Amino acid sequence: MPHDIKVLVVDDSAVVRKIFSEQLSKQKGIIVIGTAPDPYVARDKIVKLKPDVITLDIEMPRMDGITFLKKLMKHYPLPVIIVSSLSTKGSKIALDALSLGALEVISKPSAAYSVGDMSLQLAEKIRAVYGAKRMASPTQNTEKKPLISIGSMALAATTNKVIAIGASTGGTEAIKKVLTRLPHNTPGIVVVQHMPAQFTTSFAQRLDELCQMRVKEAQNGDMVINGQVLIAPGNYHMIFKRSGARYYVEIKTGPLVHYQRPAVDVLFKSVARFAGANALGIILTGMGKDGAAGMLEMKKAGAINIAQDERSSVVFGMPKEAINMGAVDYIQDINCIANKAISLLETM
């Protein structure tokens, strides 16, 4: 890195600002150059201090974080991490923030003095989004508009197939771009997106409103069936299993893998074991190497794998690791992955 990552902390709590400043500045390669109690102060400090990354609370006086984020992305786009108490209502608002251009979301403990415990996690998120590409402005039209006729039976022959998707930083929008382009009768899909607990419920609900397939947060024992997408719940691993001709998932706790739970590798390795050549793997934007080893196991088991290309990735970490391992068969722009998957499934 040419210099330490300059961070501006925007939060109405003086305690949070103080603890973040102290704890983050202890992390290698990170320096907190300023704090702000509200967006108006933040605006002036952004112009003066020119931070590389901003941590942004949602509920603040004078102007809420969502309104500020809209203005920021329009006039002075920067990598933004949402740090907020994610209740059910809050997680829905955080999804709005991601669609507006925020790159990561992290859950803030209810007790302000507990935020120091999350400094390592926040530091990793800061490193992940530093230098990340700004995502293209999302469309405001959220109507269901499938690119393939929902009456098509093109995928009907793939009843025993499964699609496994893994993503991290920038992944919520990338996953949306893939899933909204798939017809209602697509083979069952299992998804791991690195995100906090309670956030995945709202994420699944929003995707369900946009997609032709049914999308739900996975529960233990859920079947993997045509026309349904299962999202791994935050803070739990999702394991793909088979019983006879039936595919299903197990939801369980366990140690962090690549500092993550849920972890893409956990899902991909189980898909390799129980689906083998009946699986299609997709790895999307994200920092680190989670999913690369699992995708290689999928390939060795006969699966076909797709990675998002560097140009369309917010962070070309996870796809690059999988490509370098030799685990990937096709490298695609995010807007082409769905159609590529459909064409591959028709030949499997």
Full 3-state SS string of 157-210 = CCCCCEEEEEECCCHHHHHHHHHCCCCCCCCCEEEEECCCCCHHHHHHHHHHHH
Could you tell me which of 222, 153, 141, 138 has the C-alpha nearest to residue 186?
153
pLDDT of residue 91: 74
CA 331/CA 282 separation, integer angstroms: 10
Q: Which residues are catalytic?
A: 168, 194, 290
CA 269/CA 264 separation, integer angstroms: 9
Contacts of 89 (CB under 8 A, 6+ apart): none
pLDDT reading at 143 higher than 50:
no
pLDDT of residue 96: 87
| Residue of higher predicted confidence among 70 and 121 | 70
Least confident of 84-98, 217-231, 249-263: 84-98
| Residue of higher predicted confidence among 311 and 109 | 311
How far does CA 289 lie from the centroid of its chain? 14
Q: Which residues, listed in sequence order, are joined to residue 163 by a DSSP beta bridge?
A: 189, 280
DSSP code at position 136: P
* Averaged pLDDT, 313-340: 97
pLDDT of residue 87: 54
Could you tell me which of 47, 50, 60 has the C-alpha nearest to residue 68?
60
pLDDT of residue 298: 97
Residue 105's pLDDT band, with cuts at 50, 70 and 90, is: confident
| Residue of higher predicted confidence among 178 and 116 | 178
Task: Write out the residue limits of the CATH 3.40.50.180 domain(s) in the chain.
Answer: 162-347
Residue 244's pLDDT band, with cuts at 50, 70 and 90, is: confident
Q: Please give the structure tokens belonging to residue 65.
A: 């974080």
* Averaged pLDDT, 59-71: 90
**How confident is the prediction for the chain on average, in pLDDT?**
88
* Averaged pLDDT, 97-105: 90
pLDDT of residue 223: 97
Could you tell me which of 212, 263, 269 has the C-alpha nearest to residue 233?
263
pLDDT reading at 169 higher than 90:
yes
Strand order in the sheet with 80-84: 30-36, 5-10, 53-56, 80-84, 104-107
16 HSE (CA, 13 A, CB side): 25
pLDDT reading at 117 higher than 60:
yes
Tell me what percent of the residues of the chain surpass a pLDDT of 70: 88
Question: Which H or E run includes 219?
Answer: none
pLDDT reading at 249 higher than 70:
yes
Contact in structure between 283 and 271 (CB atoms under 8 Å) = no
pLDDT reading at 134 higher than 70:
no
pLDDT reading at 66 higher than 60:
yes
| Residue of higher predicted confidence among 127 and 88 | 127
| Residue of higher predicted confidence among 222 and 119 | 222
Strands 279-283 and 246-252 come out as unpaired
For 216, list phi and psi in degrees, rounded to 5. -145, 155
Residue 144's pLDDT band, with cuts at 50, 70 and 90, is: very low
Q: Please give the structure tokens belonging to residue 90.
A: 């809050």
Least confident of 73-77, 114-118, 268-272: 114-118
List pLDDT tens digits, range 280-307: 999 999 999 999 999 999 999 999 999 9
* Averaged pLDDT, 37-64: 93
Which amino acid would we find at residue 192?
Answer: V
Contact in structure between 16 and 55 (CB atoms under 8 Å) = no
The CATH T-level fold of domain 162-347 is Rossmann fold (3.40.50)
| Residue of higher predicted confidence among 244 and 326 | 326
pLDDT of residue 147: 38
The arrangement of secondary structure in 5-129, i.e. its CATH architecture, is 3-Layer(aba) Sandwich (3.40)
pLDDT of residue 153: 34
Q: Which residues, listed in sequence order, are joined to residue 107 by a DSSP beta bridge?
A: 84
Residue 80's pLDDT band, with cuts at 50, 70 and 90, is: very high
Contact in structure between 11 and 37 (CB atoms under 8 Å) = yes
Q: Please give the structure tokens belonging to residue 58.
A: 């949602």
Residue 119's pLDDT band, with cuts at 50, 70 and 90, is: confident
Task: Write out the residue limits of the CATH 3.40.50.2300 domain(s) in the chain.
Answer: 5-129
Could you tell me which of 92, 58, 57 has the C-alpha nearest to residue 200?
92
pLDDT of residue 61: 85
